Structure 1
């Protein structure tokens, strides 16, 4: 591992174990790279959303998974949760400055995914034909 790489990970040190110099990067990528987190960040990049608006906008996410995702993103400082004292309570979510700094990277990943989804689908088909007994999905 390069010295520069170790210096970057040393700044994060979530696990602090010397034998895991990449754990800082892994920890952050685990959160930011999670499919639901990416979709929440993409949705919030357009502005503040209520919980139900997020749930409707993100196809396939359950209420429980959305709750866990926004809580994790809030814990990591990427999303701000605001509760308004109404009956029933209204809750909104928005990206923090830190979360907003991710949007250009997430957008690039989303754009790349859209541009190459057909290539990836073709590669998967070719692989499946060449390896009929595989269990990779």
Structure 2
């Protein structure tokens, strides 16, 4: 999908997530800085912000008093103590990077396999067909 939730060619994909209302990617710049790139699906409005990792591992970006917190379980958009948007991921994947830093894959048993190479993500699923015998 060609949206604002996509890393540039000079960035590496660190994580991506999808809710019913948004797409989010976290990109790593060549200097090691992190960037939040989100798209609101209702109007395809993109948002690109620098993002940092908090002490509990949550990724946090801020824009004009609004905070975007990304964890492996949810996205939380808030302003002060007011929750603007909170949703669990339909899908969320974090890449695990090899020592060489060129490419790697992250695999979860029973889930699709995600292969990460620079900014390309390929998702494949294996399905085992079932055979039913006719009644009789």
**TM-score interval (norm. to shorter):** under 0.3
Larger Rg over CA atoms:
1
Q: When you count helix as a share of all residues, which structure comes out higher? A: 1
TM score, norm. by length of structure 2: 0.25
Q: When you count strand as a share of all residues, which structure comes out higher? A: 2
